[in-house]
Amino acid sequence: MSLSEALKIAEEAGVDLIEISPSANPPVAKVVDWGKFQYQKMKEQQKSRKNAKTVELKQMRMGLKIGANDLEIKLRKIREFLGVGHKVKIFIFFRGREMAHQELGYEMINRIITMLENDAILEQKPQMAGRNLSIVVRSK
């Protein structure tokens, strides 16, 4: 159908002619009410945004000399975050001369990973950034 015929049909129906796929051979066009078409498109986008799951990145900071009970409390909180579906960035910060013993931080990170292995997957390997050693974990 030619362009003039399609425009005539759309004008007689009191609606608009919309080009759907201009790269097709021949181009694909649709006769619809433009306002209604835009409204439906907007509603679909709102519905998809509402159904989309937002993943937050939570942070948990702990020192190198953290006690066993304090570590358990922090791990319990991390498991709560993972249960909701968030990612967790775990920081181990070094103070003063602790920077000379970074291997202790890596040992602690490995211990945390083994304690969380049933609940979490390591997403980002341990990396030093200034005085912080960090990893990112997400739920299984």
- Which of these three, 51, 69, 85, is where a domain ends? 51
Residues 38 and 67 in one domain: no
Residues 86 and 135 in one domain: yes
pLDDT score of 52 more than 80: no
Residues 89 and 64 in one domain: yes
Residues 99 and 131 in one domain: yes
Residues 101 and 34 in one domain: no
pLDDT score of 32 more than 80: yes
Residues 38 and 62 in one domain: no
Q: Taking a C-beta distance cutoff of 8 angstroms, is the pair 126, 134 a contact?
A: yes
Question: Tens digit of pLDDT for each residue in 76-103?
Answer: 999 999 998 899 999 999 999 999 999 9
Domain count, the chain: 2
Residues 23 and 64 in one domain: no
pLDDT score of 55 more than 80: no
Mean pLDDT over 120-135 rounds to: 91
First to last CA, the chain: 55
Q: What is the pLDDT of residue 23?
A: 84
Residues 36 and 95 in one domain: no
Residues 76 and 135 in one domain: yes
Residue predicted with more confidence, 20 or 54 = 20
Mean pLDDT over 108-132 rounds to: 91
> Contacts from 77-85 at CB under 8 Å and sequence distance 24+?
78/116, 78/120, 78/137, 79/116, 79/119, 82/116, 82/119, 82/120, 82/137, 82/138, 82/139, 83/119, 83/139, 85/53, 85/55, 85/139
76: left (phi over 0), alpha (psi -120 to 50) or beta: alpha
Residues 42 and 64 in one domain: no
- Which of these three, 51, 67, 88, is where a domain ends? 51
Domain coverage including residue 44: 3-51
As a whole number of angstroms, the distance between CA 113 and CA 136 comes to: 10
| pTM metric for this prediction | 0.62
Q: What is the pLDDT of residue 1?
A: 77
Q: What is the pLDDT of residue 100?
A: 92
> Contacts from 48-51 at CB under 8 Å and sequence distance 24+?
none
Residues 62 and 34 in one domain: no
